[in-house]
Structure 1
Amino acid sequence: MKLSILWIYPILLFFSSCEPSSKSGIDSSLVIDRSIILEMESELTQLDQEIVFLKDQVEFLLANRDSLLKLADVNKYIFKGGLSTNTPQDSDKLSTLVILNSTTDFEKSMETALVTNSMDSFFKHTYEKYSIVAQVYINTVDQVSRVFPAYDVTNLLDPDLDVTNFNFFYEADLKHNPSRGPVWISEVYVDPAGRGWILSLVHPVFEQGDLLGVLGIDITVDDLIKRYLEDLEGDFLIVNNKGDIVGGNASAIEALSFPPLLNHVYRETINADNFRISNFNLFNSKNNEVRMMAKAIILEKKSHYLFQDEFSPEAAYAVPFSLLDWYLIKLDIRS
């Protein structure tokens, strides 16, 4: 009897060693509270309704273009070339208004600017109503740009650019947005005013059936992260569908073998002159395990990844956003 027990014992050891880790079948929803994402997206969804309201106001003005031109206050803005001369310190009621050099008809562009002057008050209301809003704006096919609140246009804007070449414009056109509704642009950009990553919601504006312009509401991603992730226990990342790190805890970012963060703060790193987003992309990590994690979560749509390398975190758990093509990732970092 003793011999049979000794013979069976190594077989049991073999089969037990072949069993998957207790974490291999874990449901990421048990690790990450999905209500975090739902709450975040609920706040963002309110802006869908807001930008539709703004669209209705602009299209009403355009429908009454001729009558409004007769009543327009031509002295509301003073221009030097195509740039309004007001500064952020002059008035908290004015936008920065620009007619870019790329316009083919300056007079027509000026008419569009005059007709839409009353949008300043609507932009101001939206900006003050939502604390996460960084700016509200409209860019038009005739190269008029109105942005609230006002900014240092002389130092921050290239007057020769063509607004229709940027994703915050063309992502809302009929080719990219045949439904003509609100569009969230998942690809964030670095704010030149130093507020870190900016997320944009855009909506097309039509005049007599033709695209006249695109409204936009920009969100400061850092404010979103502070509000919803800063007080959470654990190490979190938000990445987009390209693997770019949108935000997260310094400990989480540094655990994935990325370059050291400036003062251990990702936002400060983003604002540095030598920042390159490619240096903070999961697929570009020097750690092969991190690249494998990115492949599993983003490309293969898996809910978790277990690291094998003892110098990497122990595990990563991911939950996708619904509104945006983003992922919330929680890391279990080895102690």
Structure 2
Amino acid sequence: MEYQGGVMASALDTVAHYFAKILVNRDSLLKAAPPSPYRFSEGFSTNLPGQDSSLSSVIILNSTPDRKKAEEEVLMTNMLDKVFAAFIKENPRAAQIYLNSAMQVSRVYPAYDVKNIVDPDIVVTDFNFYYEADLAHNPTKGLVWIQEAYVDPAGKGWILSLLHPIYVDDVLFAVLGVDYTVSELIQRYLDSLEGEFILVNAKGDIVAGKAEAIESLSMPPLKNHVYSETIHSDYFRISDFNLFNSKSQEVRDMATRFLLEKKNEFSFDEEANLSNAICLRFNAVDWFLIEVFPNY
């Protein structure tokens, strides 16, 4: 997972450099820009998913401080569409790539049902996929992972994001981002492994995991019996699937040993269905991979 994340980070860095060149030459590019392929209705681009694979979904949010400048920004950044499309083709594990700007312009590829999903009155800079890359949260101005899975406003469910800030004269102009879906993490990685695994963040929230592993840790029963379906549902509350909220004292002790004490092994004495567990910490994000071993 970390290797694939590193490959994607390098690819996103290339996109960021391309975008930076656009901004350096924005005046000349605007003068020479061809007619925009986008038409708008109430701030939303009117192209539909599957209609034209070369286009993104573009929004000029009602919160924009200057609509004329926002429209110029759309025209200037239309060149990113071909780069976004190439990125997704070359990085099939990515769910989407996007740009959100301080001018409240959002561009997401592939296109999605934007009008029925996004509230046009939101302030995009208030979301963690923007502010986690700002100077206060990311003083190095480099690539940064959002450490916690969150619900995607574009309807992708629970996701993990990699961000790259774009500055103009030391002012944050926009944030590039790319998303993994949690369900993709499960299908691509956990389901390919023998054994019972869960992924948790530093707070003890279960980000992903196999159903038997989750239920063996005295978590709530999984509706639909599939964690990947549960996390896409309205009734899902991540706090319900936190190791520190387990009904089992030993599971809570295991969480303390792994997440707080940074130990790698734990033995169960009182849990009849569990023998022991081992834990490894990720390098790029503050996550932990835990394997639990049942008593047979």
Same structural fold, with TM-score higher than 0.5 when normalized by the shorter chain: yes
TM-score interval, normalised by the smaller of the two chains: over 0.9
Aligned to 1:161, which of 119, 122, 127?
122
Partner of 1:204 in structure 2?
A: 165
Partner of 2:274 in structure 1?
A: 313
Which one-letter code corresponds to 1:46 in the other structure?
Answer: V
- Aligned counterparts of 1:224 and 1:281: Cα–Cα separation in 2: 18
CA-atom RMSD in angstroms = 1.4
| Mapped pair 1:43 → 2:4 | yes
Q: Residue by residue, what CA displacement relative to the aligned partner does 1:99-134 show, whole Å, maximum 9, x if unpaired? A: 111111100111111111110010011111111100
Which one-letter code corresponds to 1:48 in the other structure?
Answer: A
Instruction: Calculate the TM-score normalised by the size of structure 2.
Output: 0.96
Q: Residue by residue, what CA displacement relative to the aligned partner does 1:124-157 show, whole Å, maximum 9, x if unpaired? A: 1111111110000010001000000001011110
Which one-letter code corresponds to 2:194 in the other structure?
Answer: E
- Aligned counterparts of 1:229 and 1:275: Cα–Cα separation in 2: 20
- Aligned counterparts of 1:56 and 1:175: Cα–Cα separation in 2: 22
Aligned to 1:68, which of 9, 16, 29?
29
1:193 is displaced (CA, Å) by: 6.2
| Mapped pair 1:231 → 2:192 | yes
Which one-letter code corresponds to 2:37 in the other structure?
Answer: K
Which one-letter code corresponds to 2:74 in the other structure?
Answer: A
Q: Which has the higher contact order (CA 8 A, sep 6+)?
A: 1
Q: Unmatched 5+ residue regions in structure 1?
A: 1-39
Partner of 1:294 in structure 2?
A: 255
1:64 is displaced (CA, Å) by: 1.1
Aligned to 1:148, which of 109, 122, 147?
109
| Mapped pair 1:255 → 2:243 | no
Deviates further, 201-210 or 227-236: 227-236
Q: Residue by residue, what CA displacement relative to the aligned partner does 1:150-192 show, whole Å, maximum 9, x if unpaired? A: 0101111011111111111111111111111100112111346
Which one-letter code corresponds to 1:90 in the other structure?
Answer: Q
1:74 is displaced (CA, Å) by: 3.8
- Aligned counterparts of 1:181 and 1:75: Cα–Cα separation in 2: 31
Aligned to 2:174, which of 180, 188, 213?
213
Partner of 1:32 in structure 2?
A: none
Contact 2:114 2:154 in 1 (8 A): no
Q: Residue by residue, what CA displacement relative to the aligned partner does 1:172-223 show, whole Å, maximum 9, x if unpaired? A: 1111111111001121113466644311000000123321000001012322
Contact 1:181 1:204 in 2 (8 A): yes
**Aligned counterparts, 1:176-191, within 5 A:** 176-191=137-152
Q: Unmatched 5+ residue regions in structure 2?
A: none
Partner of 1:14 in structure 2?
A: none
| Mapped pair 1:175 → 2:136 | yes
Q: How many residues align?
A: 296
Contact 2:250 2:271 in 1 (8 A): no
Q: Residue by residue, what CA displacement relative to the aligned partner does 1:80-111 show, whole Å, maximum 9, x if unpaired? A: 12111111122111000001111111001111
Which one-letter code corresponds to 1:244 in the other structure?
Answer: D
Instruction: Calculate the TM-score normalised by the size of structure 1.
Output: 0.85
- Aligned counterparts of 1:266 and 1:61: Cα–Cα separation in 2: 42
Question: Helix, strand or coil: the match of 1:186?
Answer: coil
- Aligned counterparts of 2:173 and 2:93: Cα–Cα separation in 1: 27
Question: Helix, strand or coil: the match of 2:274?
Answer: coil
User: What percentage of residue pairs aligned between the two structures are identical?
Assistant: 51
- Aligned counterparts of 2:261 and 2:232: Cα–Cα separation in 1: 32
Partner of 1:277 in structure 2?
A: 238
- Aligned counterparts of 2:31 and 2:37: Cα–Cα separation in 1: 14
| Mapped pair 1:322 → 2:275 | no
1:312 is displaced (CA, Å) by: 5.0
| Mapped pair 1:243 → 2:191 | no
- Aligned counterparts of 1:181 and 1:68: Cα–Cα separation in 2: 26
- Aligned counterparts of 2:236 and 2:274: Cα–Cα separation in 1: 25
Question: Helix, strand or coil: the match of 2:269?
Answer: coil
